């Protein structure tokens, strides 16, 4: 199971009135912590947990607090301090050494389900929005949901003071939507791995022999229409990234040309530099004039040779681009010059 909010809500929505539920949200962190502010998790009265707020080390204790919230029907804030010798986190030798503050809120019909139905519906439609949660010390529960008119989001949640109240403001967006062009054998690990990340995956290949459902069970949709109709597909406006790997020069060229008018943020082409030059020539495109930078050769230099490693390499680069990250070793164990120790 992936931990994107969309996936968590799939478990909650059909059973929202049959069981008691609590939404737990990290609203503040100090020092090193597993999850940042805005991370969410669901608990119910069956003892089920959906999502993660730590590496699995705090969830059992959070479940205990969630049971209180279910009973009292009031919000509750709890803190875990990994540097405090008297704190349960320190005593059990768990956590990352930082402090994490969590708010737990009951999900009740009389509280409009914390606006989670509206959130789920809008995210399922590919929309974005601002989710506001009251961080209360007196048990008061309040949330707000405001649809964003722009897809541009602030990267980090904000904790603000307004009218003597503390609010956590979190920008919510649907998981990344990946278009995979070409349904060969090497596309299978790309689709599977992207789904493991919690992404939405559309697979397209107009060739009749390719893209059989039994080979791509994880794909959200498999499309076969001509390229001009693909670009007009209802999901096209929601694509965040595309990986072109049809192994056909003309098909790749036509696709890259067609995608130049789209809003995708990451466009990758399988193959070496020489092949990229051939594809661009067929597409009658100059690389410096592309509306979307072309990642070709695609992926990070992981030394990959097999399809699974290549898929990891490309998706790692794609993830970094979509998150605005550098894609570098956090520890510095890999040198920038050689990529080795």
**What is the domain-level CATH number for residue 279?**
3.40.50.720
Distance CA 134, CA 80 (A): 20
Percent with pLDDT over 90 in the chain: 72
Q: Higher model confidence: residue 55 or residue 229?
A: 229
Mean pLDDT to the nearest integer, 259-272: 94
Using the predicted structure, report yes or no on whether residue 340 has a pLDDT greater than 70.
no
The string of DSSP letters for 261-323 reads TS--SEEEE-S-HHHHHHHHHHHT--GGG-SS-EESS-S--S---SHHHHHHHHHHHHHHHHH
Question: What angle, rounded to 10 degrees, do the helices at 307-323 and 187-196 form?
Answer: 50
pLDDT (0 to 100) of residue 210: 87
Question: In terms of domains, do 154 and 188 share one?
Answer: no
pLDDT (0 to 100) of residue 31: 84
Does residue 306 lie within any of the structural domains? yes
Question: In terms of domains, do 209 and 317 share one?
Answer: yes
Using the predicted structure, report yes or no on whether residue 245 has a pLDDT greater than 50.
yes
Does residue 335 lie within any of the structural domains? no
Mean pLDDT to the nearest integer, 236-263: 94
Q: Write out pLDDT tens, residues 290-320.
A: 999 999 999 999 999 999 999 999 999 999 9
The string of DSSP letters for 56-89 reads SSSHHHHHHHHHHHHHH-S-EEEEEETT-TTSHH
Q: Write out pLDDT tens, residues 152-183.
A: 555 579 999 998 999 999 999 999 999 999 99
pLDDT (0 to 100) of residue 230: 86
Does residue 312 lie within any of the structural domains? yes
Does residue 337 lie within any of the structural domains? no
Mean pLDDT to the nearest integer, 26-38: 89
pTM of the full structure: 0.88
Residues ≥6 apart with Cβ < 8 Å to 44:
12, 15, 19, 20, 21, 22
Question: In terms of domains, do 36 and 148 share one?
Answer: yes
Q: Write out pLDDT tens, residues 85-129.
A: 555 555 555 556 789 999 999 999 999 999 999 999 999 988 899
Mean pLDDT to the nearest integer, 222-247: 91
Pick the last residue of a domain from 155, 172, 189.
Answer: 172
Using the predicted structure, report yes or no on whether residue 341 has a pLDDT greater than 50.
no
Question: In terms of domains, do 239 and 313 share one?
Answer: yes
Distance CA 213, CA 246 (A): 17
Q: Which of these ranges, 30-39, 133-142, 284-293, has the smallest mean pLDDT?
A: 30-39
Question: In terms of domains, do 166 and 190 share one?
Answer: no
Could you list the residue range(s) of the whole structural domain that residue 127 is in?
Answer: 5-172
Q: Tokens in use for 159? A: 């904790």
Does residue 332 lie within any of the structural domains? no
Question: In terms of domains, do 28 and 148 share one?
Answer: yes
Question: In terms of domains, do 24 and 94 share one?
Answer: yes
Does residue 77 lie within any of the structural domains? yes
Using the predicted structure, report yes or no on whether residue 1 has a pLDDT greater than 90.
no
Does residue 328 lie within any of the structural domains? no
């Amino acid at each position: 199971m992936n931990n994107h909010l969309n996936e968590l809500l799939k478990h909650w929505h059909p059973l929202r009135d049959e069981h008691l539920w609590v939404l737990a949200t990290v609203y503040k962190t100090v020092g090193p912590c597993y999850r940042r502010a805005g991370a969410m998790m669901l608990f119910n009265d069956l003892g089920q947990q959906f999502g993660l707020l730590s590496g699995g080390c705090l969830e059992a204790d959070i479940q205990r607090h969630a049971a209180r919230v279910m009973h009292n029907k009031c919000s509750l804030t709890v803190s875990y301090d990994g540097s405090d010798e008297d704190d349960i986190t320190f005593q059990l030798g768990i956590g990352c050494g930082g402090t994490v503050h969590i708010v737990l809120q009951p999900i009740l019909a009389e509280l409009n389900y914390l606006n989670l139905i509206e959130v789920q519906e809008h995210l399922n439609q590919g929309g974005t929005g601002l989710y506001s949660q009251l961080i209360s010390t007196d048990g008061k529960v309040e949330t707000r949901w405001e649809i964003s008119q722009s897809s541009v989001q602030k990267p980090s949640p904000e904790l603000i003071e307004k009218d003597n109240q503390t609010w956590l403001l979190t920008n919510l967006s649907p998981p990344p939507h990946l278009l995979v062009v070409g349904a060969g054998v090497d596309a299978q690990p790309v689709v599977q791995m992207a789904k493991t990340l919690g992404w939405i995956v559309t697979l397209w290949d107009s060739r009749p022999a390719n893209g059989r459902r039994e080979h791509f069970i994880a794909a959200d949709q498999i499309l076969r229409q001509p390229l001009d109709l693909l670009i007009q597909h209802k999901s096209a406006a929601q694509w965040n990234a595309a990986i072109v790997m049809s192994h056909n020069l003309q098909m790749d060229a036509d696709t890259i040309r067609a995608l130049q008018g789209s809003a995708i943020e990451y466009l990758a082409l399988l193959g070496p530099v020489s092949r990229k030059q051939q594809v661009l020539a067929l597409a009658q495109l100059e690389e410096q004039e592309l509306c979307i930078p072309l990642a070709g050769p695609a992926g990070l230099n992981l030394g990959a040779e097999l399809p699974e490693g290549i898929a990891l390499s490309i998706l790692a680069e794609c993830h970094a681009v979509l998150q605005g990250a550098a894609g570098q070793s956090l520890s510095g164990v890999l040198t920038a010059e050689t990529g080795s120790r």
